[in-house]
Amino acid sequence: MRRGRIFLFLILILVVAGCLVLYLMRGMLAPQPTATPTPAFVKVFIAQQNIPYGAPITEELLGTIEIPPDRVLATYFTESEKDNLIGKIARYPLEQGVILTEAMVSTSAPAPTGPTFTASIPPGMNAISIPISRLAAVSYGVTDNAHVNVIGCVLFKDVDADFQSQLPNKLATLFGSGRVTQQGEMLPTLSLSGPEFKGRIEPEPAFGNREFYYLIPQEPQRPRAACQMLLQDIVVLKIGNFDLLTNPSAQAAPAATPGAQQPPANQAQQNVPPPDVITLIVTPQDAVSLTWMLYNNFKFTLALRNSTDNSRTAVEAATLQYILSQYNFPVPAKLPFAVEPRVDQLTLPPLPNDTITVPAQ
């Protein structure tokens, strides 16, 4: 009996050991999963700093970034093509951080046929000037090469579609006496009856709507203003006038007389008038549109933006109705009392630091 138990125990041990050996052998013979190789990034050259038009490409102006191989274009300069890039000439101004391509450089830059600043205008673009003021130019915070949005405002009035004249129309009276034709017909004489305007008939509720009045406008039609974002992310070519010395036909300034006293530097700076124009780089169609707006009394305002932000935002035009609804702006109710003294215009109160100009006597 005891030998039988030992025999069964040995058999159980052999079975467990056999199963363990089979499991280990199966794991060793099974194919091991191969690791997916990580694609190696490729280094391509970028402009480490702003490179002006016609400047030779040197090693100090270059930097590299790593991008996946599937995003490397055939026109990029990779790290192995460094010798093909060094010594080339920038065909137009290159901004810092841009990936350099074969179209951006050449063995020799084309000689400009006009002012040197025209090289800053990309191919297919135009430069056009619009008027500005201190308020319209962000307190003169807009400088050359800045990125701005252009806002335009204009006034609208109702006009007669046929006359193309401002409404309401004036009234004219036809008189019965006039010229008699050969057929004996009387032609009426047309004559203006004065500064009367076309109005409308309304009943008077105080008399039970049995009496009527003919209403005419008290004043000319009031215009309605609208403002809209016209252009976004526009590059400023120049604020103020271009240097006349860059024009060969411009007359040189007269030389200073020897021994003459020159004005102090700070006084010379004070005599420089603030800029009243700004030159923008726009598309040809935008140049035509801005010209039309300029001759149709549009008022322009610039909004300064981050030069690295190339996003576009959909905006709605600002009108009186939009301001009242969007900003929950209430229309004041007519109350049986008012402030004293009477206020007809909104004016800012004077401040102690304001400069008061006294006219010359």
Residue 76 backbone phi and psi in degrees, to 5: -75, 155
Residue 257 reports pLDDT greater than 50: no
Q: Name residue 105's beta-bridge partners.
A: 90
The confidence score (pLDDT) of residue 121 equals 85
How many domains does one find in the chain?
A: 3
Do 118 and 239 belong together in one domain? yes
Do 172 and 300 belong together in one domain? no
Residue 254 lies in a domain: no
Residue 264 lies in a domain: no
Do 49 and 190 belong together in one domain? no
Query: Highest mean pLDDT range out of 79-88, 236-245, 314-323?
Result: 314-323
Q: Which position has the token pair 């030069």?
A: 307
pTM over the 0.75 mark: no
Residue 63 C-beta-side C-alpha neighbours within 13 Å: 12
Angle made by CA atoms 25, 29, 31, in degrees to the nearest 5: 145
pLDDT band at 30 (very low <50, low <70, confident <90, very high): low
- Tokens representing 50? 């702003």
Range of the domain at 100: 42-110
Q: What mean pLDDT, rounded, does the chain reach?
A: 80
Do 152 and 229 belong together in one domain? yes
Name which of 174, 171, 175 is nearest 196 in CA terms.
171
Residue 195 reports pLDDT greater than 60: no
pLDDT band at 299 (very low <50, low <70, confident <90, very high): very high
Do 90 and 118 belong together in one domain? no
Do 137 and 49 belong together in one domain? no
Do 92 and 213 belong together in one domain? no
The Cα 238–Cα 259 span in angstroms is 36
Residue 206 reports pLDDT greater than 90: no
Poorest-confidence range of 46-55, 128-137, 289-298?
A: 46-55
pLDDT band at 261 (very low <50, low <70, confident <90, very high): low
The confidence score (pLDDT) of residue 113 equals 62
The Cα 307–Cα 73 span in angstroms is 26
For residues 96 and 49, the answer to whether their CB atoms sit within 8 Å is yes
Query: Highest mean pLDDT range out of 8-12, 289-293, 311-315?
Result: 289-293
User: Which helix (H) or strand (E) covers residue 33, if one does?
Assistant: none
Do 277 and 138 belong together in one domain? yes
Residue 31 C-beta-side C-alpha neighbours within 13 Å: 3
For residues 130 and 277, the answer to whether their CB atoms sit within 8 Å is yes
Contacts of 229 (CB under 8 A, 6+ apart): 149, 150, 151, 313, 315
pLDDT band at 359 (very low <50, low <70, confident <90, very high): low
Residue 4 reports pLDDT greater than 60: yes
Do 122 and 103 belong together in one domain? no
The confidence score (pLDDT) of residue 248 equals 45
Contacts of 277 (CB under 8 A, 6+ apart): 129, 130, 131, 132, 240, 241
Residue 347 lies in a domain: no
Residue 193 lies in a domain: yes
Contacts of 194 (CB under 8 A, 6+ apart): none
Name which of 88, 89, 39, 81 is nearest 64 in CA terms.
81
* Secondary structure of residue 325 in the 3-state scheme: helix
Do 319 and 299 belong together in one domain? yes
Do 288 and 325 belong together in one domain? yes
Do 149 and 52 belong together in one domain? no
The Cα 27–Cα 214 span in angstroms is 105
Name which of 202, 233, 232, 224 is nearest 215 in CA terms.
202
